[in-house]
Chains A and B, each alone.
Chain A
Amino acid sequence: MSAEVKSDERLGQESTLRHLLSKPEFGALAGTILVFLFFGMTAQGSGMFAADGILNWTTVSAQLMILAVGAALLMISGEFDLSLGSMIGFAGMMIAIPTIYFGVPVWLSVVLAFAGALGIGFLNGLIVVRTGLPSFIVTLASLFILRGLTIALSILFANRTIVGGVREAAEGTFVGWLFGGKVGGAFFVFLAEQGIINKLPNGAPSVPGIPMVIVWAVVIAILAGIVLSRTHYGNWIFASGGDAKAARNVGVPVNAVKISMFMLTAFCATVYAACQVFEFGSAAADRGLLKEFEAIIAAVIGGCLLTGGYGSVIGACLGALIFGVVQIGILFTGINNDWFRVFLGVMLLFAVLFNNFVRRRVTGER
C-alpha cells in the first residue's frame, strides 16, 4: 500500500487569521480588547485602572467567572442549567441556617451545603437524561422549585429571608477564610510602602489583599480548562454535546458525562454562594437572581454554541471579564447604568451572530 505522503499543495496554507478564527474564544478575545480600549480612553483618571479600581472589576468578573465556567462546560456537553441562580440562594441558606439556628459547626454546614447542591445537580441531570426532555424545561422547573423552597424553608426555620451573623460564627475558622478571606496582604502593604499603590488615609494599602473569590475563579478556570482540552473526559464532554447518539455508539458514557456537568454547575453555584455568605456575613433567599442568564451570556460571548459541542473555558472567562469590566466601567465613567443592559443585549446579539458564522465555518455548512 502506498503509505508515502505526498506533500499536499493545500498543506500549510492555512493563514494565522483563519487559524485564530477557528478558535471558539476568538470573538471574546476581540471583544475584551475592544472593551479595554474603550474604557482605557473614556475612564482615564476615574480610578478604574488604579489598584482598587482594578480589584473592583476583577472581583466582579471573578464571581461571574466561577458560574460561567460551570455553565460553559455544561453547555458544551449539550445542556443548560437555568436553576443556577436559585441554587445560589439555596446553597447560601443551607450554609447560614444550620450554622445560626441549629448550632451546626460552620465547616459542617458548608460540607452539607455542597453535598446538598451536588445532590440537586445530580437530580437535575438524572431527570434530563432519563426523560430526554430539554434541560431548558427541566431546570426551569428547578429554578422555581429551588427559589420557592429557599424562601419557604427560610421562613419556616428562621422566620426571615435574610440570615445574618455568619461572619461572627465563621470568625477565625478555616472555611471562613477559604471563602471570605484574602491572600497576599503583606505583598500589598509592601507595594503601598514602595508607593506603587495608594494608601488609605489611615496608612493601610488601598487594596488589603486578593479576595478568595478570585483565587477560586482562577483555580476553577484552570482545572476546568485542563480537563476540557487535555483529558479524555474533556473529549467526552465535547462528544456528548456534539452528537449524543454518535458518542454513545462509540462507547462514550454520555449520561454520566451530562449528569456530572449538572453537578459541576451546582458546585460552582455553591462556591459562589459560599464566597458571598462569608464576605457579607449573611445569606439572603433572593441571592443569585438572574445569575443563570449572566452565566449563559458570558459563556455565549465566550464562543459556546447554544446547541452544544463547541466552546472553551478561556472564552467563558473572557466573557465574564467583559461583563465585569463593562458593568464596573460604566459606573466609573458615569454613564447611565441603563446603558449597561443595552450594551449587554447588543453584545449578546453580536456574539450569537458571530458564533453562528464560526460554526458554519467549522462544520462546513453553507
Chain B
Amino acid sequence: MSKSNAPLIEVRDLVKNFGPVIALNGVSLSVNAGEVLCLLGDNGAGKSTLIKTLSGVHKPSQGDFLVDGEKIAFESPRDALNAGIATVYQDLAMIPLMSITRNFFMGREPLKRVGPLKFMDMGFADKVAREEMVRIGIDIRNPQQAVGTLSGGERQCVAIARAVYFGAKVLILDEPTSALGVRQTSMVLKYIFQVRQKGLGVIFITHNVRHAHAVGDRFTVLNRGKTLGTYAKSEIELDDLQNLMAGGRELQDLSAELSGTV
C-alpha cells in the first residue's frame, strides 16, 4: 500500500455538470486501504455519476481528485484501470453478443508473443474466466458462450468477477447485487469482505441496508448531488442507516405520515 497514510482515493468538492444538468454539486469522500465505504442515497442522488467520475468515464467539471494523495486527471477508463481502480457499472458494461471470455478481458486482453507478433492468449483467458467464475460460485458451462445467453444474475457475476480480477487497489461496485439470488449475494458480500482483508479499498453502492451494514466500515450519504455526511459504523444504528439510504429524514416522515393516517 501507499507509504503515506493518504487515502487510496479522495475527492473534494467535486462538481459534475451535463450541460445545464448539475448531477454532482460538491461531493467529498475518501476511501482508505482495507476499508469498505458504502455510498448511500436515493435514486437520482448522483451515485452512479460519482463512481463514473472516479473510474474515468466522466471528467469532473470542478473539484479535486486525488489518488494516493496526488492530484490526478483520468483521460479514460483505461487510465483508472491502470491505476488499479476497477468498477462494476450499474449497467454492467457487458456485450451480449460476445463470449464470456471476450467480455471478461475486454480492454485488458492477455497477450502472448509469437516471434515479433503479439496475439491474444485465448487459452489463458478461457482458463482464468472459468476459474474466476467458479470462485464466485458459478460453474459456467463454456467460457466461449455468449454473455447474452446468461441470466441477469450470472451477467452480474461476470462483471463482478472481472472487476475483482483487475482491481489491484480499489474496487467500485454500483448496485452489484440487484439481480442476484440469495446464494450469489452472500458470495458477493463475502467477496467484498475478502477484498477488504487483502488491503484493497471498496466503494459499495446498495439499496439494501442489511447488506450495507454487514460489510460497510463507513457510510457516505449523497443527496441531490451533495454529500450530507460520512458516518463510521460505530456511530450508526441499522435504523438510522435505513433513513440515510433514502437520503435523510424522509422515510421517518413517511412512517409518521403513514401511522398518522392509519
Contact = CB atoms under 8 A, between A and B. Distances in A.
B238 interface: no
Q: Interface on chain A toward B: helix, strand, loop, or mixed SS?
A: loop
B164 to A, nearest CB: 12
A5 interface: yes
Nearest to A241: B97
Interface residues of B, number: 43
Contacts of A239: 95, 98, 102, 106-107
A2 B137 contact: yes
B97 A235 contact: no
A1 B135 CA distance: 7
A230 interface: yes
A12 B140 CA distance: 11
Contacts of B102: 235, 238-239
Interface string A66-95: 000000000000000000000000000000
B150 interface: yes
Contacts of A6: 139
Contact of B91 (A236, A246, A251, A362): A246
Interface string B70-91: 0000001110110000010101
A304 to B, nearest CB: 11
Interface string B126-148: 00000100110101011000101
Most B Cβ at <10 Å: residue of A3, A22, A238, A251? A251
Contacts of B141: 8, 10-14
A309 interface: yes
Contact of B95 (A3, A11, A243): A243
A362 B139 contact: no
B98 A250 contact: no
A232 B148 contact: no
Given A11-B139, A11-B141, A235-B102, A249 B93 contact: yes
Contacts of A247: 93, 95, 106-107
Interface string A182-211: 000000000000000000000000000000
Contacts of A250: 77, 81, 93, 106-108
Nearest to A239: B106
B137 to A, nearest CB: 7
Interface in A233-264: 234-236, 238-239, 242-243, 245-253
Contact of B139 (A5, A14, A242, A249): A5
A5 B119 CA distance: 29
A174 B81 CA distance: 48
Interface in A77-125: none
Contacts of B148: 362-365
A8 B89 CA distance: 29
A250 B109 CA distance: 11
B105 interface: yes
Contacts of B87: 249
B149 A14 contact: no
B78 A251 contact: yes
Interface in B91-132: 91-98, 102, 105-109, 111, 118-120, 122, 131
B57 interface: yes
B134 A362 contact: no
B186 to A, nearest CB: 11
B105 A235 contact: yes
A177 to B, nearest CB: 27
30 contacts: A1-B190, A2-B137, A3-B131, A3-B134, A3-B135, A8-B139, A11-B142, A12-B141, A14-B141, A232-B109, A232-B111, A238-B98, A238-B102, A239-B106, A239-B107, A245-B93, A247-B95, A247-B107, A249-B52, A250-B106, A251-B56, A251-B77, A362-B97, A362-B146, A363-B96, A363-B97, A363-B149, A364-B148, A364-B150, A365-B148
Given A242-B95, A253-B76, 19 more contacts: A1-B190, A5-B134, A8-B141, A11-B141, A14-B142, A22-B146, A226-B119, A231-B120, A232-B118, A235-B102, A238-B97, A238-B98, A238-B102, A247-B93, A247-B106, A248-B57, A249-B55, A249-B89, A251-B77
Minimum-distance CB pairs A-B, first 4: A363-B148, A251-B78, A232-B109, A242-B95
